[in-house]
């Protein structure tokens, strides 16, 4: 195996594009900033853009997943973490994933994409784990312009907005990139072209990034995404992209072959992820690895009906389909109430190996947090057997759907629920 890391990374070497591939490991669901062009989604296999993934993995699942894919595809040299949130807003998961992979596959090439907010804290640790390639998204080096791009930045428990937020982010990016370059990392700076916002400014990003020791720049046209503040910005046309790349090239070599990959992309750049690998992702994350059975979680009072509000469930009943039919295989204690959003994150972690979760009703906050953390939640009512058999067979469960969902008059909970 070629040990020149630069030449083994298809994103950092145009010669490596046809020879080597990468796998993005979706272990990082959370983000610590809000870019006005970003929406993170799940289950959208037809959509190919950063921030989109079909599944989330735990570090041990990601390690098993990479080792298995690599054993069958020697050319799959790069294991990267690129979301669906920010790799360093989930630093413990990112580091643990790299540690586990390194033990199994010492010649892996690691890669991280980050907004850079926490880079100064973690760059040395990443380097000691063997990271040689880093991507930092840097859209502005002027806080006035940055303030138009970021809704907020959350740092050490405080939420910043406006110029203050942009300045904090920018300063940490600068410090992090400088340190990464000192450590000898290849640093690629991604800059999203936002017409009317930073299109006249990207060359200044290139100039500063070059001074700091970055190696490449990747100027990417905005993909306007529905329901984001920048959904109405025009998509940059070919001429604008070319102009910006030509201006910026004076300071930094430009990457021209980026595939704008999903957070769970696998293979060579430009290749669509095969159905076989998508099925394998599901197997890795949502099945009992010993039996291969899917697991389902249910909120129920008596074990017969799906009839319990999410917030009231003290236990979740876990079911699998075995040869003889549906069987309850375990019960899991739900996190205690009263801890707000963190309760729902803990619940998402607890049920992360389940194919789907069935409750009678739930509030908007848990629905949002669970969805952001990769849990497929269904609000239904009826016999557990009927609902799960219908779901397992791939048929619609619409007829079981609770007609008025969420809290309020339609909620069957007893007001002890959603916080």
| Site membership for ligand SF4, residue 372 (CB under 6 A) | no
Q: Which of 8, 23, 27, 31 binds ligand SF4 (CB under 6 A)?
A: 31
Stretch near ligand SF4 under the rule CB under 6 A, chosen from 66-74, 77-85, 93-101, 323-331: 77-85
83 interacts with ligand SF4 by CB under 6 A: yes
DSSP secondary structure, 9-71, as one string: -TTT-GGGTTT--EEE---B---SEEETT---EES-TT--STTEES----HHHHHHHHHHHHH
Angle at 411 between CA 298 and CA 295, to 5 degrees: 10
Contact region with ligand SF4 (CB under 6 A), list: 27-35, 54-62, 193-201, 224-232: 27-35
Can residue 229 be called a binding residue for ligand SF4 (CB under 6 A)? no
Q: Does residue number 86 form part of the binding site for ligand SF4 (CB under 6 A)?
A: yes
Q: What is the C-alpha radius of gyration for the chain, rounded to an integer number of angstroms?
A: 23
Q: How far is the CB of 3 from ligand SF4 (least distance, A)?
A: 21
Q: Which of 119, 181, 209, 261 binds ligand SF4 (CB under 6 A)?
A: 261
Cβ proximity to ligand SF4, 259 vs 406, nearer residue: 259
Of positions 224, 229, 253, 259, contacts ligand SF4 by CB under 6 A:
259
CB of 258 to ligand SF4, least distance (A): 3
Residue 18 phi/psi, 5° resolution? -85, -20
**269 binds ligand SF4 per the rule CB under 6 A:** yes
For the CB of residue 271, give the shortest distance to ligand SF4 in the complex, in Å.
11
Structure tokens at 104: 């199994």
Nearer to ligand SF4, 172 or 308 (CB): 172
Residues 89-118 interacting with ligand SF4 (rule: CB under 6 A):
115
**Partners of 153 in the beta sheet?**
33, 160
**Part in contact with ligand SF4 (CB under 6 A); list of ranges 93-101, 238-246, 253-261, 386-394:** 253-261
Binding flag, residue 38, ligand SF4 (CB under 6 A): yes
CB atoms within 10 A of CB 384: 22
Q: For CA atoms 285, 87, 53, 103, give the dihedral sign.
A: negative
Pick 219 or 306: Cβ nearer ligand SF4 = 219
Bridge-based pairing of strands 295-298 and 377-379 is unpaired
Q: What is the greatest pairwise CA distance in the chain?
A: 69
Kindly give the pairing relationship between strand 109-114 and strand 78-81: parallel
Stretch that binds ligand SF4, among 31-39, 209-217, 225-233, 369-377 (CB under 6 A): 31-39
Binding of residue 51 to ligand SF4 (CB under 6 A): yes
348 is written with which tokens? 């998402």
Q: Minimum distance between the CB of residue 247 and ligand SF4, rounded to whole angstroms? A: 21
Whole-angstrom Cα distance, residue 347 to residue 326? 23
Report, in Å, the least distance between residue 215 CB and ligand SF4: 13
Q: Alpha-carbon torsion 41, 43, 44, 48, what sign? A: positive
Tokens 């070919």, located at residue: 238
* CB distance 100 to 60 below 8 Å: yes
The residue count for binding ligand SF4 (CB under 6 A) is 19
**Is position 85 an interface residue for ligand SF4 (rule: CB under 6 A)?**
yes
Render the burial of 147-156: b for 16+ CB within 10 Å, e for the rest: bbbbbebbbe
Point out which residues bind ligand SF4 (CB under 6 A).
11, 22, 31, 33-35, 38, 40, 51, 82-83, 85-86, 115, 258-261, 269
């Amino acid at each position: 195996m070629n040990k020149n890391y630069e030449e083994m990374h298809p994103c950092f070497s145009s010669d490596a594009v046809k020879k080597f591939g990468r796998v993005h490991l979706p272990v990082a669901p959370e983000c610590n900033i809000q870019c006005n062009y970003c929406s993170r989604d799940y289950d959208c296999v037809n959509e190919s853009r950063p921030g989109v993934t079909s599944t989330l993995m735990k570090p041990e699942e990601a390690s098993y997943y990479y080792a298995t894919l690599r054993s069958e595809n020697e050319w799959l040299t790069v294991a990267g973490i690129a979301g669906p949130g920010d790799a360093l807003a989930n630093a413990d998961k990112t580091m643990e994933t790299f540690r586990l992979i390194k033990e199994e596959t010492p010649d892996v090439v690691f890669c991280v994409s980050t907004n850079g907010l926490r880079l100064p804290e973690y760059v040395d640790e990443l380097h000691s784990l063997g990271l040689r390639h880093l991507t930092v998204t840097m859209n502005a080096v002027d806080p006035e312009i940055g303030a138009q791009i970021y809704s907020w930045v959350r740092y050490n428990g405080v939420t910043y907005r406006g110029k203050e937020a942009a300045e904090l982010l920018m300063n940490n990016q600068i410090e992090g990139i400088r340190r990464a370059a000192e450590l000898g990392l290849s640093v690629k700076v991604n800059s999203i072209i936002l017409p009317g916002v930073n299109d006249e400014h990207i060359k200044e990003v290139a100039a500063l990034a070059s001074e700091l020791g970055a190696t490449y720049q990747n100027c990417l046209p905005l993909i306007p995404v529905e329901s984001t503040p920048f959904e109405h910005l025009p998509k940059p046309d070919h001429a604008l992209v070319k102009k910006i790349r030509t201006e910026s090239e004076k300071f930094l070599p430009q990457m021209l072959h980026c595939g704008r990959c999903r957070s769970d992309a696998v293979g060579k750049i430009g290749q669509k992820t095969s159905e076989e690998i998508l099925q394998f992702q599901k197997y890795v994350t949502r099945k009992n690895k010993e039996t291969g059975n899917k697991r389902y979680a249910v909120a129920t009072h008596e074990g017969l009906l799906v009839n319990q509000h999410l917030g009231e469930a003290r236990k979740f009943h876990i079911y699998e389909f075995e040869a003889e039919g549906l069987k309850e295989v375990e019960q899991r204690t739900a996190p205690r109430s009263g801890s707000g959003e963190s309760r729902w994150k803990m619940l998402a972690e607890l049920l992360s190996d389940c194919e789907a979760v069935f409750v009678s009703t739930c509030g908007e906050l848990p629905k949002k947090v669970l969805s952001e953390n990769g849990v497929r939640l269904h609000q239904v009512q009826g016999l557990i057997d009927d609902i799960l058999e219908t779901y397992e067979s791939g048929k619609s469960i619409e007829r079981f759907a609770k007609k008025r969902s969420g809290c309020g008059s339609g909620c069957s909970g007893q007001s002890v629920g959603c916080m």
